[in-house]
Amino acid sequence: MNLHHITESQQFTLPMLHELFREADQMERVAARGGTRDYEHAVMASLFYEPSTRTRFSFESAMLRLGGRAISTERAQEFSSVIMGETLEDTIRVVNHYADVIVLRHNEIGGAARAAAVSSVPVINAGDGKGGQHPTQALLDLYTIQKELRTIDGVKVAFVGNLATGRTVRSLAYLLGKFDRVKLYFVAPPALQIQDDIRDYLTRHNVWFALEHDLRTVLPEVDVLYVTRIQSEVFPGGGAAPDKPAPFILDESTVKLLRPSSLIMHPLPRLNEIAPSVDADPRAAYFRQTRYGVFIRMALITSVLQR
């Protein structure tokens, strides 16, 4: 794979995705035998301007399993020179001298591209802004589908939640659009529907998609239900408000409508959009996704360091 910076999903071709999945399979075997020392001279900087549990820890876990070392700041806006007004560009220029790869989560759309423009070491986008992208999450999501359903061609996926600014959904829609005969259902109220840029991309690439508002009618149709958080401030009655039932909540009554072979996915963290009672259902793949994420991120780190 000819990878340097990883800023958006669109830069991955189908052959690159297949190669990445083969590498991730290999990384699972490497991790199972206790890791490797192959990258013991490499340093990864994780520079996070927004909170994270999964992305930061899984990247750092991936680097440690490769034998490398990680330096990090988890709230760069408070615990780095950003608080004194340093620009992202200057921070990246400096960290270039400390690390061989930078994993960046930034609070602005395009933050990763800005960093990549001035960085001589690879920059990996770990999420940029509300409505930006989260390509490595989408890659691990796609890998989860491949591992668990054995194919991505022909898959029917329903996305539920805040699709307007959900960066994981946006990145995954771009990737799924590269496969044959996929069908994408975007289930959300009008204010939170998937944005025109994604619709235009899917239309240009002849990808079947539908905008829906009734989760119950979609559930029996799909192979994958991809649930995302709905912030209560943008959708009164949904998401974080425990005293108000979320219109798109997945619980024991709604999960019955799904096919026996389907997958329930979520990038996490969840609020109340998936009831804890669903966790024991074998179709609930959201914690398995987090495990696959380590192997995908090991494969991505090796790809950008080998160039």
Q: Which residues bind ligand CP (CB under 6 A)?
A: 52-55, 127, 134, 137, 267-269
For the chain, the C-alpha Rg in angstroms (whole number) is 19
Query: Is the Cβ–Cβ distance between 270 and 227 less than 8 Å?
Result: yes
Please measure the distance between the N-terminal and C-terminal CA atoms of the chain and give it in whole angstroms. 8
Element of type H or E holding 73: strand 69-73
CB of 53 to ligand CP, least distance (A): 4
Burial degree of 198 (CB within 10 A; 0-12, 13-18, 19+)? buried
Tokens of 111: 């933050």
Choice between 168 and 302, CB closer to ligand CP:
168
Choice between 127 and 135, CB closer to ligand CP:
127
Omega prior to 51 cis, within 30 of 0: no
Q: Report the alpha-carbon angle 236-237-240, nearest 5.
A: 90
Choice between 272 and 290, CB closer to ligand CP:
290
CB of 269 to ligand CP, least distance (A): 6
Question: Length of the chain, please?
Answer: 307
- Sign of the C-alpha dihedral computed for residues 189, 192, 198 and 200 taken in this order: positive
Tokens of 281: 């259902």
Choice between 178 and 229, CB closer to ligand CP:
229
Query: Is the Cβ–Cβ distance between 167 and 128 less than 8 Å?
Result: yes
Q: Which of the 8 DSSP states describes residue 280?
A: T
CB of 52 to ligand CP, least distance (A): 3
Choice between 168 and 303, CB closer to ligand CP:
168
CB of 60 to ligand CP, least distance (A): 11
CB of 210 to ligand CP, least distance (A): 25
CA distance 193 to 224: 18
CB of 127 to ligand CP, least distance (A): 6
User: Among candidates 260, 271, 264, which has minimal Cα distance to 286?
Assistant: 264
Angle of the 14-32 helix axis to the 135-149 helix axis, nearest 10: 80
CB of 62 to ligand CP, least distance (A): 13
Angle of the 196-204 helix axis to the 167-176 helix axis, nearest 10: 10
CB of 75 to ligand CP, least distance (A): 13
